[in-house]
Amino acid sequence: MANTMKETTRFRLPIPEGVQASALLWQAAAAGAGVLAGAGQVYGGAAPFGLALVLGCQPGYILACAAGALAGGLLFQSMDLCVRLAGAVAAAVAGRRLWPGKFLPAASLGCGTLLAEELLSLVLAGGGATLSQTSAVLGTAVLAALLGFAMYRFPPEKPRSACLWGAVAAACCQRFGSAVFAPGLLLAALAGLCAACAASLEQCATFSLVLAAAVTAATPSLSCGALACAMGSLAAALLFPGERLRCAGAFAAGCLLGALAAPDPATLLPLATGAGTALLIYLALPDSVLRQIFPPPADTRGAAATQGLSGAARRLNAVADTLSDIADTVNAVCDRQLPPRGESFDFVVEHTARRVCQGCSRRAKCWVRGYAGVVDGLYHLKTPLEARGEVRIEDLVPQLSECIQPAELCAAVNHGYHLWRSRRQTRARAGVLRTALTEQYAAMASALASMADRLGQAGLPDPRRQARVTEFFTGLGLETLECTVTGDLAGRTTVGVTVARTRFTPQEQEALAAEVSRLCRRDFGLPEISHCRTVTMLTFTEKPLFHAVFGSAGRTAKGQDISGDALEQFCDPSGRAQLLLCDGMGTGRAAAVDGRMAARLTGELLRAGFAAESAARLVNVALGLKNADQESGSTLDLLTVDLYTGRAGLFKAGAAPSFVVRSGVPRVVEGASLPMGVVDSVVGRSTSFSLDAGDWVVLVSDGTLTDGTGWLLQQLELCARLGHTPDQAAEAIADAAAHRAGARQDDITVAVLELAAN
């Protein structure tokens, strides 16, 4: 009997059973969506979702969506609106059937029918229809056309449509809410939480705010709860992206803060039930579901990554050229628009002649027959003007004694003189600002060009080692989103691995470095780890041949409680040791401000990848603007050592001599230059030399060399023979310099760098 029924079923349904059941389920889902859309409303009584769904759904689901929309309208809408919507839905279905693949005819028929029905009702009722009913119908027609077009352009299978369909679902679900539970609020909270954990900040913000707006449009009394959920989602996305438990905690805290703005306690209950249920569902969702909804960024490897670096290098070069052109353009424009450079006291004479003499009855006598005497008399007024800034009637010389308007003449001369001084000051200030601006552009252009050169020298990837590293991380249970193994022109290998956001303990970092070193047959140090949104990036670089040992000591000037010297010592991520010493001109707090400002800015620029000259140019601009009206500035002594090769570069701008100790024998390194902040462009000097293990470089401020350099050479030789550490040597030199200076003691700073082998 069973076999007979099975054969009969197969005969009657030639389509496979699985496909047939799937098609029926999809049609049922479309009808359910139609019921949900037909029931939905927004503020004012408009119900556009059912008609919009019929206008925007896929062609195969038109009838199912229409039937569902009619059923939803019949169950949940008023009878008058339901009748009008039924006619509009029928007209929209007819339009989509008659003109398949075209949206405008169906929208015109559907929305036009709805408006025609309302107009007919107004005519038959003789104006008895209420304004609210008419507004609801008009709002329904307009919103249905807009939402239908959006649904037509962005069907559910497109990733960009998730926000649109989620907002429609949240607004429609509110029709089934109660005073205790708000399903639309639950949906908005759940979508915001998932986006905060697995999506980008921009996606989370879009989801949270759009769904909050949809819930508010459907139920205005829930606006406080909707904004509280949006606040919680944004807090989670901003503070703990990719961390599920912390995201949940941040979301709960955000909701609690938002609840404090609730107008009455009754609005807190739907917020508590909706947000609490969303939290439970979110914590129960497996990670695989979140990754399917918000997939990780595409993997770009191999040649594509190399092409990306080359493209970035080209773009940086283009930006550098543009900045240089901007600097030239600014100079040209300023030269044309600023007051003439050669303006003299003639400006005051001409101004006085226009203001006083142009309409005077004695103009011909003074300026034609007595021109030389009048001009000579006006020039004699320059002396009292420069002495006290104004002239009085008693200052008028005999050549001007015949003037019939002496008071007006003095007033005009004073006004013209102040205008002349103001124009000269304007030119001076504008010149300073222009120089600062163009110098910044030029320095940035130079720095970007240098970065572009480094990017353009990136080596080719190593696919064999890349596959090994990828397999290793996969075996640890860490899905590798991106893995690159490249070698630069110097033969150094760099490994970059991107995984889902994960925290590593120091012991785990050491184990990872050891295993990656074994796989790539290179000696890598601990990885540099950076967390970015939902991913964690690990960068392994080869251990350098050397490491830097720093030492320093300082003494303040006599009678001062603060030193004008500033010192920075660090190793940057590129494997370079940086040692910089800035000496503010003078002593005390004023010098300390300049010195520390110069040291801090230079250090930040070096960490960002700027070369010494580019960093000095930018800091020179900053000091020049700060000290525009003062005679002050700061020296710069900057040592950069490549720990892979031992190659060193020393840049000096007004700094005291430095010292290199090689094999226990010291020598002086000098460079004539000017401090930063004194002239418009930095005047520095660069020196390059090589260092080996055990060599020292010593930087000192000018207070250390009160008695010259001879004794310091002997002191360095003695420290080297005694085997002092950099700290011990710095302390010994600082004590000796303070003892020698005595009452003449200035700020003393000694910095020692020793290059040691790894």
Q: Tell me the per-residue pLDDT of 409-421, one tens digit each, with 9 for 90 and over.
A: 888 888 888 887 7
DSSP state of 652: E
Q: What is the mean pLDDT of the chain?
A: 78
Quickly state the pLDDT bin for 273 (edges 50, 70, 90).
confident
The better pLDDT of the pair 744, 74 is held by 74
* pLDDT of residue 15 exceeding 50: no
Most confident of 279-293, 332-346, 429-443: 279-293
Quickly state the pLDDT bin for 297 (edges 50, 70, 90).
very low
CA 720 to chain centre: 48
Amino acid identity of residue 144, one-letter, is A
* pLDDT of residue 696 exceeding 70: yes
Mean per-residue pLDDT, 37-43: 82
Exposed / middle / buried, residue 276 (Cβ in 10 Å: 0-12, 13-18, 19+): middle
The better pLDDT of the pair 340, 444 is held by 444
Closest to 204 in 3D by CA, of 215, 212, 196: 196
Most confident of 210-219, 304-313, 345-354: 210-219
CA–CA distance, 350 with 330 (Å, rounded to integer): 31
Most confident of 372-376, 386-390, 433-437, 496-500: 496-500
* pLDDT of residue 9 exceeding 80: no
Reading the block at residue 449, the tokens are 């060009």
* pLDDT of residue 399 exceeding 80: no
Residue 641 bridge partners (DSSP): 577, 648
CA–CA distance, 233 with 279 (Å, rounded to integer): 11
Mean per-residue pLDDT, 40-59: 83
Mean per-residue pLDDT, 427-444: 61
* pLDDT of residue 695 exceeding 90: yes
Predicted confidence at residue 725, as pLDDT, reads 92
Reading the block at residue 740, the tokens are 């020698």
Least-confidence region, from 72-76, 220-224, 320-324, 532-536: 320-324
Three-state DSSP at 712 gives helix
Predicted confidence at residue 427, as pLDDT, reads 67
User: For residue range 88-142, what is the model confidence (pLDDT) as tens digits?
Assistant: 888 888 888 888 888 888 888 888 888 888 788 777 765 545 667 777 788 888 8
Predicted confidence at residue 622, as pLDDT, reads 65
* pLDDT of residue 367 exceeding 80: no
Predicted confidence at residue 256, as pLDDT, reads 82
Least-confidence region, from 1-10, 237-246, 389-398: 1-10
Predicted confidence at residue 25, as pLDDT, reads 81
Percentage of residues in the chain having pLDDT higher than 90: 10
* pLDDT of residue 338 exceeding 50: no
Asked if 689 contacts 660 with a C-beta cutoff of 8 angstroms, the reply is: yes
CA–CA distance, 672 with 231 (Å, rounded to integer): 59
Q: Residue 55: which residues within 8 A CB-CB, separation 6 or more?
A: 92, 96, 103, 106, 107, 110, 144, 145, 148, 149, 151, 152
* pLDDT of residue 298 exceeding 50: no
Exposed / middle / buried, residue 704 (Cβ in 10 Å: 0-12, 13-18, 19+): buried
Predicted confidence at residue 731, as pLDDT, reads 93
Mean per-residue pLDDT, 22-26: 76
Asked if 612 contacts 560 with a C-beta cutoff of 8 angstroms, the reply is: no
156: phi > 0 → left, psi -120 to 50 → alpha, else beta; which? alpha
Quickly state the pLDDT bin for 564 (edges 50, 70, 90).
confident
Amino acid identity of residue 559, one-letter, is G
Q: How many residues does the chain have?
A: 758
Between CA 386 and CA 393, with CA 388 as vertex, the angle to 5 degrees is 100
Least-confidence region, from 37-41, 241-245, 583-587, 699-703: 583-587
Predicted confidence at residue 698, as pLDDT, reads 94
User: For residue range 618-669, what is the model confidence (pLDDT) as tens digits?
Assistant: 677 666 655 555 555 678 888 999 988 899 999 888 788 999 999 889 999 8
* pLDDT of residue 437 exceeding 70: no
Mean per-residue pLDDT, 196-202: 77
Max CA pair span of the chain: 139
Handedness of CA 723, 729, 731, 734 (dihedral sign): positive
The better pLDDT of the pair 574, 57 is held by 57
Can you give the pTM of this predicted structure? 0.47
Q: Where are the alpha helices (DSSP H) in 77-157?
A: 79-98, 104-125, 131-153
Reading the block at residue 33, the tokens are 């969506």
Torsion of CA 181, 184, 188, 194, to 10 degrees: 80
CA–CA distance, 90 with 101 (Å, rounded to integer): 17
Predicted confidence at residue 329, as pLDDT, reads 53
Quickly state the pLDDT bin for 300 (edges 50, 70, 90).
very low
The better pLDDT of the pair 525, 306 is held by 525
Exposed / middle / buried, residue 192 (Cβ in 10 Å: 0-12, 13-18, 19+): buried
Cα distances (angstroms) measured from residue 736 to each of 47, 186, 605, 732: 89, 74, 34, 6
Three-state DSSP at 513 gives helix
Asked if 409 contacts 377 with a C-beta cutoff of 8 angstroms, the reply is: no
Quickly state the pLDDT bin for 755 (edges 50, 70, 90).
very high
Predicted confidence at residue 511, as pLDDT, reads 92
Quickly state the pLDDT bin for 313 (edges 50, 70, 90).
low
Q: Where are the alpha helices (DSSP H) in 353-505?
A: 363-364, 371-380, 382-388, 406-456, 463-475
Predicted confidence at residue 421, as pLDDT, reads 79
Reading the block at residue 666, the tokens are 């010291």
Predicted confidence at residue 516, as pLDDT, reads 92
Torsion of CA 541, 542, 544, 548, to 10 degrees: 40
